[in-house]
């Protein structure tokens, strides 16, 4: 059995930032390569965008192939062809004389167009061109009867040496096959690396009987096939094994690399064993460069998706990538995987946005009436809560003791101590006017549960910040903010995604509450405590921005306000002296906007 590179197709997305995210996801899952579809529409409207997409793929560490997606209806893909619409005279003629919407492989104009596409794709920086399922048109794809065949146009007659007969005899079959091979020979002259992927057929109207003729083409780098067993109504394992063996033997004769594609689209959960058997068969036959079509089992495309696409995607990824243990992976891979997981945190917090906003409204109401914001927590959660509490004073100018942290996680034993949780809250004199925010990833930390129960008994407003549903803290709280971030890269290490989510939530609780209380002005930190030169200059600059006053007027207002930016701001905007400004600020409980009102 051999292992090798795992690749995946990706198509349809043309927003580079979204592609960048998905390429990082592919790499983090263990894929080493991606195939991007370059359609005629992309050639017309997304020339530079496709170069950006290739660059994003390379930044993720992926090797990149480009497929002529649906070009002229010669190659695989659902994309429509602009060429056949603009050049009907270059289209194929079926045996009964009808011209159909598919470019003729023997048309000089069409060959020139395909070379233009190849030059553009190579200019975009791809590592290889991928000539996907080159064949004469499938009748069903252009709405004609399945027994029809093509092409009998003037270009074909010129190459054949006379008008082609109406019957698909041996001479015509040989001519059709030779035309495909000659077409590919011309395409490979474009330079760069090339992969040719033939349909898994050596007979019939669209098969190539002589794979050696293709594999021996000059400038070919990789020879591929895509034995999609369902399309051919064959059992997965034996069908894939037969063509994997033919592929490997052909490639060995001609010294080119072998690549094999397997479907993940259109499969349901019951067919996952077939998919796994197909991967195993290919590897046992010595083909290690295995790819799947396509990303997320094409779950984003309703015509190819099944309800089980997520399960199939997980299964094919597991089968193809077979990643080594985390500890054995390179640091860059681990960083990429952590980045991928971290990217889900903001969405988890956003999903709890309604509960978070309601909690902030309730906290703000308590603070406005003179109550306190009291954080409780132990371990990592306690330390995150304490960090937020200690920063509220210097950032928002709140008086000492208005925002405090109980517990703070200074020792591991604290987490299990229910008596200490209760006594710490009692010692902090928590009462009905206070808002208590309990922070715990699991929502079941004994210390924190006991602390919130004690706060509730004292009549305090109770908020839970947790990362698990249906927790003990959620059941106790008046408001529960639940950020379900899922499993951690290191199982049980809640300082990772859970810790980041908790930090985002407590940031929002304190910051938005202070904004509601008027501790900022037009998004500026006008309440910052100027304890050093940097903060003094920041306070001064904020007053300049908020008032638009001249520099000397701001300096004078600061001097009169004894360095209090809020007093200086009120004095300048309201046109009063520092004493009046300070009195207004006191009466508005520190709210700049209230003092100005």
CA-CA distance, 391 to 554, in Å (whole number)?
Answer: 26
Contact 143, 98 (CB under 8 A): no
Count of other CB atoms within 10 angstroms of residue 498: 27
Give burial (CB, 10 Å; 0-12/13-18/19+) of 129.
buried
Give the chain's length. 597
Q: Measured in whole angstroms, how far is the alpha carbon of residue 80 from the centre of its chain?
A: 27
Helix (H, G, I), strand (E, B) or coil at 378: coil
CA-CA distance, 132 to 112, in Å (whole number)?
Answer: 18
Contact 120, 43 (CB under 8 A): yes
The H or E element spanning position 479 is strand 479-482
Check 177, 415, 453, 488 and give the catalytic one: 415
Asked if the peptide bond before residue 294 counts as cis, ω within 30 degrees of 0, the response is: yes
Concerning whether 415 is annotated as a catalytic residue, the answer is: yes
Count of other CB atoms within 10 angstroms of residue 242: 15
Question: Positive or negative, the Cα torsion across 510, 514, 519, 523?
Answer: positive
Measuring CA to CA, how many Å separate 340 from each of 29, 94, 292, 304, 494?
Answer: 9, 51, 21, 26, 17
φ, ψ dihedrals at 531, nearest 5°: -90, -10
Concerning whether 391 is annotated as a catalytic residue, the answer is: yes
Number of H helices, E strands in the chain: 24, 15
| Residue 503: closest CA among 395, 360, 384 | 384
- Give 83's contacts (C-beta < 8 A, 6+ positions apart): 40, 71, 72, 90, 103, 110, 113
Contact 450, 419 (CB under 8 A): yes
- Give 413's contacts (C-beta < 8 A, 6+ positions apart): none
CA-CA distance, 220 to 202, in Å (whole number)?
Answer: 20
Helix (H, G, I), strand (E, B) or coil at 63: strand
Contact 446, 422 (CB under 8 A): no
Tokens 């308590």 belong to 366
CA-CA distance, 271 to 56, in Å (whole number)?
Answer: 33
Tokens 């006594």 belong to 423
Check 78, 276, 368, 391 and give the catalytic one: 391
CA-CA distance, 576 to 548, in Å (whole number)?
Answer: 16
Q: Which residues are tagged catalytic?
A: 391, 415
């Amino acid at each position: 059995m051999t292992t090798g590179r795992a690749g995946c197709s990706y198509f349809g997305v043309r927003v580079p930032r979204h592609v960048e995210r998905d390429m990082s996801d592919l790499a983090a899952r263990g894929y080493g390569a991606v195939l991007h579809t370059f359609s005629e529409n992309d050639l017309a409207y997304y020339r530079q965008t496709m170069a950006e997409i290739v660059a994003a793929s390379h930044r993720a560490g992926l090797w990149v192939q480009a497929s002529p997606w649906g070009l002229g209806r010669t190659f695989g893909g659902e994309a429509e062809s602009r060429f056949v619409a603009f050049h009907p005279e270059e289209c194929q003629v079926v045996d009964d004389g009808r011209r159909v919407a598919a470019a003729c492989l023997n048309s000089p104009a069409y060959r020139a167009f395909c070379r233009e596409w190849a030059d553009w794709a190579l200019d975009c920086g791809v590592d290889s061109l991928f000539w996907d399922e080159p064949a004469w048109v499938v009748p069903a794809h252009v709405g004609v009867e399945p027994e029809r065949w093509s092409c009998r146009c003037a270009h074909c007659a010129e190459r054949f040496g006379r008008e082609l007969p109406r019957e698909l005899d041996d001479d015509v079959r040989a001519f059709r096959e030779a035309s495909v091979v000659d077409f590919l020979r011309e395409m490979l002259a474009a330079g760069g690396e090339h992969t040719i992927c033939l349909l898994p057929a050596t007979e019939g109207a669209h098969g190539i009987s002589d794979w050696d003729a293709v594999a021996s083409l000059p400038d070919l780098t990789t020879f591929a096939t895509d034995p999609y067993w369902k399309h051919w109504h064959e059992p997965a394992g034996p069908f894939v094994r037969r063509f994997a063996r033919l592929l490997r033997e052909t490639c060995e004769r001609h010294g080119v690399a072998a690549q094999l594609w397997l479907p993940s689209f259109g499969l349901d959960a019951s067919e996952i064993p077939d998919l796994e058997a197909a991967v195993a068969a290919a590897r046992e036959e010595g083909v290690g460069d295995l790819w799947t079509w396509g990303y997320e089992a094409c779950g984003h495309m309703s015509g190819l998706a099944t309800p089980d696409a997520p399960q199939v995607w997980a299964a094919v990824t597991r089968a193809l990538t077979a990643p080594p243990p985390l500890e054995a992976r390179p640091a860059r891979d681990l960083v990429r995987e952590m980045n991928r997981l971290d990217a889900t945190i903001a969405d988890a917090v956003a999903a709890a946005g309604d509960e978070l906003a309601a909690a902030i409204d309730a906290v703000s109401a308590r603070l406005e009436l003179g109550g306190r914001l009291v954080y409780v927590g132990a371990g990592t959660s306690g330390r995150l809560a304490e960090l937020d509490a200690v920063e509220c004073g210097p950032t928002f100018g709140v008086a000492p003791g208005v925002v405090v942290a109980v517990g703070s996680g200074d020792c591991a034993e604290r987490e299990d101590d229910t008596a200490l949780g209760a006594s710490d809250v009692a010692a902090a004199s928590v009462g009905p006017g206070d808002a208590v925010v309990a922070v715990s990833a699991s929502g079941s930390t004994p210390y924190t549960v006991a602390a919130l129960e004690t706060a509730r008994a004292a009549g305090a407003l109770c908020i839970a910040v947790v990362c698990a549903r249906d927790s003990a803290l959620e059941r106790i709280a008046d408001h529960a903010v639940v950020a379900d971030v899922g499993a951690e890269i290191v199982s049980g290490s809640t300082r990772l995604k859970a810790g980041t989510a908790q930090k985002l939530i407590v940031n929002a609780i304190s910051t938005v509450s202070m904004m509601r209380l008027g501790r900022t002005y037009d998004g500026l930190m006008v309440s910052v405590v100027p304890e050093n030169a940097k903060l003094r200059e920041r306070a001064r600059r904020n007053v300049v921005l908020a008032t638009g006053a001249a520099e000397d007027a701001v300096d004078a207002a600061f001097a009169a306000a004894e360095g209090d930016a809020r007093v200086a701001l009120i004095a300048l905007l309201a046109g009063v002296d520092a004493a009046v400004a300070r009195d207004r600020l006191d009466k508005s409980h520190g709210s700049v906007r209230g003092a100005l009102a």
